[in-house]
Structure 1
């Protein structure tokens, strides 16, 4: 059972890292390069779509890592898993305090109702997102190391 839990947790967190990395370094760069209002409309749609899924994915990742730490207590790598779970908790706190408030505004914007400083807000979201991606990569790397 522990082996299956380790694999499932690592895959779920790895996919989360992949999606968030893609958003940071691929999707948002593509959207920013689109002409006219297309990029802002794409970010709004992405905020609505991913904003509906990500809370479950983030909390699920924390729960899986916590269960792995509990079930595997005393096994090799438990400290790494506990630290990874802590980083995943940090990513949730970052999301709630720094990214979700901006996303909740941005997902309602249209070219007609967006604020004058919308690009400044999106740049702020991007900077916090880069930091969150770094935290997630750290958590994922620790989980992989715990498997070795």
Structure 2
């Protein structure tokens, strides 16, 4: 049963890393290259869509890692799992304190109502997101290392 939990948790966190990596280095670059307001409107839609899903995914991943840490306490690799959990806590705190406030504003923006500094806010979100992606990649790598 523990093996199934370990694999399931690693897959859930790994897919989350893939989605967030894709947002940072593929989707947002594509949206930024679109003409006119299309990119900003696309980001607003993405903020609404992923903003509804990601809280459950981040918290769910953290819960799965915590269950793994408790169930596997004393096993080889338990320290790696605990450290991965700590990194996921950092990612949740970053999300709540830094990224979500910007996302909550930007997901309602249209060409008619966006603030003058909308690009700067988007750039700030991107910078925070790059750091968050690095943090969750670290957590994922630790989970994979704990498996082997």
State the TM-score, normalizing by the size of structure 1. Answer: 1.00
Paired residues, number: 148
Confirm whether residue 131 of structure 1 aligns to residue 131 of structure 2: yes
Moved over 4 A (4+): none
Matched residues in 2 for 1:69 and 1:40: separation?
Answer: 41
Give the corresponding residue for 2:98: 98
Give the corresponding residue for 1:79: 79
Please report how far the alpha carbon of residue 27 of structure 1 lies from its aligned counterpart in structure 2 after TM superposition.
Answer: 0.2
Matched residues in 2 for 1:63 and 1:28: separation?
Answer: 29
Give the corresponding residue for 2:62: 62
Give the corresponding residue for 2:119: 119
CA RMSD of aligned residues (A): 0.2
Please report how far the alpha carbon of residue 51 of structure 1 lies from its aligned counterpart in structure 2 after TM superposition.
Answer: 0.1
Please give the per-residue CA displacement for 1:52-105, whole angstroms capped at 9, x wherever unaligned. Answer: 000000000000000000000011100000000000010000000000000000
Matched residues in 2 for 1:79 and 1:125: separation?
Answer: 31
Matched residues in 1 for 2:27 and 2:119: separation?
Answer: 16
